Chains A and B, each alone.
Chain A
Amino acid sequence: GNSVTQMEGPVTLSEEAFLTINCTYTVTGYPSLFWYVQYPGEGLQLLLKATKADDKGSNKGFEATYRKETTSFHLEKGSVQVSDSAVYFCALTPRIGNKLVFGAGTILRVKS
């Protein structure tokens, strides 16, 4: 079946540090890939997406590249801020249909 695996957290960084959250997936065919972010007490918000191989999604300084050869979609940011503290979810939809499959989520804590 389809699945998404994310690195376990929590990830704790100092402000202005470099962030990488690893995400790999298993799916039949070629999915669309997403990163969602959940701030405390809120629902999920779309952070970025990529719909085909080698696409790079970017938003608010975050980036992720759709790597078909390694079935990965790692999230990166060059300089994190305290306001980036949240839970980050990697997710996919299979080529047909729009049923999201989520990873378990990674908690990010940024200290000032």
Chain B
Amino acid sequence: NAGVTQTPKFQVLKTGQSMTLQCAQDMNHNSMYWYRQDPGMGLRLIYYSASEGTTDKGEVPNGYNVSRLNKREFSLRLESAAPSQTSVYFCASSESRSSNQPQHFGDGTRLSIL
């Protein structure tokens, strides 16, 4: 039972390079999310997709774009990577956008920008 799968697990980029982080879930969930985790700051929402075909900005969207490719897949793109984007990125999904639905997380992508 895979749950939420993120690829790659680790990546090192140079400033200015582009990169797409992939996320797929096999739980038939409607809503998907991208977070970044930085020391001492918990997780902060970058973008989310309440349902297939919709995307919305979260708390820290600048420098990122997303694509909800289909119900299963939700990708995060860095068009021109900056050192401030060095972080651990987590994808999550939930059955619906109802506030009492728990989110299920992938294992994260550790991204370093030099």
Contact = CB atoms under 8 A, between A and B. Distances in A.
Interface in A60-112: 89, 91, 93-100, 102-105
Contacts of B45: 99-100
A59 to B, nearest CB: 11
B44 A102 contact: yes
B108 A96 contact: no
Q: Chain B interface: which size bin? A: 20 to 34
Main secondary structure on chain B at its contact with chain A?
Answer: loop
Contacts of B53: none
Given A41-B107, A43-B107, A49 B42 contact: no
Contacts of B102: 34, 46, 49
A51 interface: yes
Interface string A26-63: 00000110101000011111100101000000000000
A42 B88 CA distance: 11
Interface in B38-75: 40-45, 48, 50, 58
Given A42-B107, A43-B4, A43-B108, A89 B100 contact: no
The secondary-structure label for the interface of chain A is loop
Given A44-B90, A89-B42, A105-B42, A49 B100 contact: yes
Contact of A89 (B4, B43, B50, B104): B43
Interface residues of A, number: 27
Contacts of B4: 43
Please name the 4 residue pairs, one residue from A and one from B, whose CB atoms are nearest each other, closest first. A102-B42, A43-B105, A93-B99, A51-B100
Interface of A: 4, 31-32, 34, 36, 41-46, 49, 51, 89, 91, 93-100, 102-105
Given A4-B42, A95-B99, 20 more contacts: A31-B99, A34-B102, A42-B107, A44-B43, A44-B90, A44-B92, A46-B102, A46-B103, A49-B100, A97-B97, A97-B99, A98-B31, A98-B101, A98-B103, A99-B33, A99-B58, A100-B35, A102-B42, A102-B44, A104-B42
